[in-house]
Chains A and B, each alone.
Chain A
Amino acid sequence: MVAGKGSIGSSIRVNEIETDVLVVGGGSTGLWAAIRAKDFCSRVIVADKGMIASAGVSTMIHGVQAPVDDEDMVAAMKELVVRSAYLADQKWLPIILEEMGDRFRAMEEWGVPFVRDADGKLHTENRMGLKVNRMAFINGRPMMRTMKEHALGKGVSLLERTMVTDLLTSDGQHPTGGRVIGAVGLNTISGDFSIIKAKAVIITTGLMGAKRHLAYADGLTGDGVAMGFRAGAELQSMELSQSAAFSVWDRRFSTGGQAEYMRAGAKVINRLGENLIWKYAPDKQAPFLSKQEICFAAVKEILEGRGPVYMDMTNLSENDIKLLRGVLPSAMRAFDEAGINLRDKPVEITPMVHHWGASSGGGLKINLNGETSVAGLYAGGCASHNPGHNVSGAGQGQAFNFVSGYRAGEMAGRTSRDIEQAPIAADQARSLREQTFVPLYRESGPGPNEIYEAINKATLPAEFCFFKNEGTLRATLARMQRLQEEDLPRLKADDIHQLIRANEARNTATIIEPICLSAIEREESRFWHYREEFPYRDDVDWLKWVVTKKSDGGVSVGLESLPIEDYPIQPEKRTRVPALIPFSWANRAQG
Chain B
Amino acid sequence: MAINRINRDLCDKCKLREKKGCPTAESCSVDVIRLDAEGKPYIAYPEDCHICFLCSRDCPMGAVEVSGMIPSLALPY
Query: How many of chain B's residues touch chain A, expressed as a range?
Result: 20 to 34
Minimum distance in angstroms from B23 CB to a CB of chain A: 9
Contact across chains for A60 and B51 when beta carbons are under 8 A apart: no
Report B39-77 residues with CB < 8 Å from chain A CB.
Answer: 44-45, 47-54, 67-70, 73-77
Contact across chains for B68 and A254 when beta carbons are under 8 A apart: yes
Contact across chains for B77 and A461 when beta carbons are under 8 A apart: yes
Minimum distance in angstroms from B57 CB to a CB of chain A: 8
For A453, list chain B residues within 8 Å (CB).
74
For A258, list chain B residues within 8 Å (CB).
none
- For the complex, give the distance between the alpha carbons of A299 and B75 in Å: 12
Q: A253-B70, A334-B68, A501-B48 are in contact. Are A462 and B77 (CB under 8 A)?
A: yes
For B77, list chain A residues within 8 Å (CB).
299, 302-303, 307, 350, 461-462
B12, CB-defined interface residue at 8 Å = no
- Name the residue on B nearest A350 (C-beta): B75
For A352, list chain B residues within 8 Å (CB).
75-76
Contact across chains for B50 and A216 when beta carbons are under 8 A apart: yes
CB < 8 Å neighbour of A449 from B2, B47, B51: B47
- Name the residue on A nearest B44 (C-beta): A497
Contact across chains for A337 and B29 when beta carbons are under 8 A apart: no
A189, CB-defined interface residue at 8 Å = yes
Contact across chains for A213 and B50 when beta carbons are under 8 A apart: yes
B31, CB-defined interface residue at 8 Å = yes
Q: Which of A50-58, A413-421, A426-434 contacts B (4 or more CB under 8 A)?
A: A50-58
- For the complex, give the distance between the alpha carbons of A570 and B51 in Å: 44
CB < 8 Å neighbour of B74 from A214, A456, A500, A501: A456
Contact across chains for A337 and B69 when beta carbons are under 8 A apart: yes
For B45, list chain A residues within 8 Å (CB).
497
Contact across chains for B52 and A500 when beta carbons are under 8 A apart: no
- For the complex, give the distance between the alpha carbons of A56 and B48 in Å: 15
Minimum distance in angstroms from B60 CB to a CB of chain A: 15
For A59, list chain B residues within 8 Å (CB).
54
Minimum distance in angstroms from A1 CB to a CB of chain B: 16
- For the complex, give the distance between the alpha carbons of A213 and B50 in Å: 4
- For the complex, give the distance between the alpha carbons of A217 and B70 in Å: 14
B30, CB-defined interface residue at 8 Å = yes
Q: A330-B53, A334-B68, A497-B45 are in contact. Are A248 and B28 (CB under 8 A)?
A: no
A255, CB-defined interface residue at 8 Å = yes
Contact across chains for A252 and B29 when beta carbons are under 8 A apart: no
For B53, list chain A residues within 8 Å (CB).
330
- Name the residue on A nearest B50 (C-beta): A218
A-B CB pair tally, cutoff 8 Å: 87
- For the complex, give the distance between the alpha carbons of A188 and B45 in Å: 13
Contact across chains for B70 and A219 when beta carbons are under 8 A apart: no
- Name the residue on A nearest B23 (C-beta): A54
Q: A462-B76, A497-B45 are in contact. Are A54 and B51 (CB under 8 A)?
A: no
Contact across chains for A461 and B50 when beta carbons are under 8 A apart: no
For A573, list chain B residues within 8 Å (CB).
none
Contact across chains for B48 and A218 when beta carbons are under 8 A apart: yes
Contact across chains for B50 and A252 when beta carbons are under 8 A apart: no
Contact across chains for A55 and B48 when beta carbons are under 8 A apart: no
CB < 8 Å neighbour of A51 from B29, B52, B69, B74: B29
Report A25-53 residues with CB < 8 Å from chain B CB.
Answer: 49-51
Contact across chains for B68 and A219 when beta carbons are under 8 A apart: no
For A121, list chain B residues within 8 Å (CB).
none
- For the complex, give the distance between the alpha carbons of A382 and B70 in Å: 26
A5, CB-defined interface residue at 8 Å = no
Contact across chains for B70 and A213 when beta carbons are under 8 A apart: yes
Query: Which of A303, A333, A338, A497 neighbours the largest number of chain B CB atoms within 10 Å of its CB?
Result: A497
Q: A188-B31, A456-B74, A497-B31 are in contact. Are A217 and B50 (CB under 8 A)?
A: yes
A128, CB-defined interface residue at 8 Å = no
B18, CB-defined interface residue at 8 Å = no
CB < 8 Å neighbour of B73 from A213, A217, A462: A213
Minimum distance in angstroms from B39 CB to a CB of chain A: 15
A251, CB-defined interface residue at 8 Å = yes
- For the complex, give the distance between the alpha carbons of A51 and B49 in Å: 16
For B29, list chain A residues within 8 Å (CB).
49-51, 54-56, 219
A460, CB-defined interface residue at 8 Å = yes
For A56, list chain B residues within 8 Å (CB).
29
- For the complex, give the distance between the alpha carbons of A490 and B76 in Å: 27
For B28, list chain A residues within 8 Å (CB).
50, 54
Minimum distance in angstroms from B72 CB to a CB of chain A: 9
- For the complex, give the distance between the alpha carbons of A521 and B73 in Å: 32
The interface of chain B, by Cβ under 8 A from chain A, is: 2, 26-31, 44-45, 47-54, 67-70, 73-77
The interface of chain A, by Cβ under 8 A from chain B, is: 49-51, 54-56, 59-60, 141, 188-189, 211, 213-214, 216-219, 248, 251-255, 299, 302-303, 307, 330, 333-334, 337-338, 350, 352, 449, 453, 456-457, 460-462, 465, 497, 500-501
Could you show 19 A-B contacts with beta carbons less than 8 Å apart? A50-B28, A211-B50, A213-B49, A214-B70, A216-B51, A219-B29, A248-B70, A253-B68, A253-B70, A254-B70, A255-B68, A449-B47, A456-B74, A457-B74, A460-B74, A461-B76, A461-B77, A465-B76, A497-B45
With A213-B2, A219-B50, A253-B68 given, name 8 new contacts (CB 8 A): A51-B29, A213-B73, A248-B73, A303-B77, A307-B77, A449-B47, A462-B77, A501-B48
5 nearest A-B residue pairs (beta carbon): A50-B29, A55-B29, A218-B50, A216-B52, A334-B68
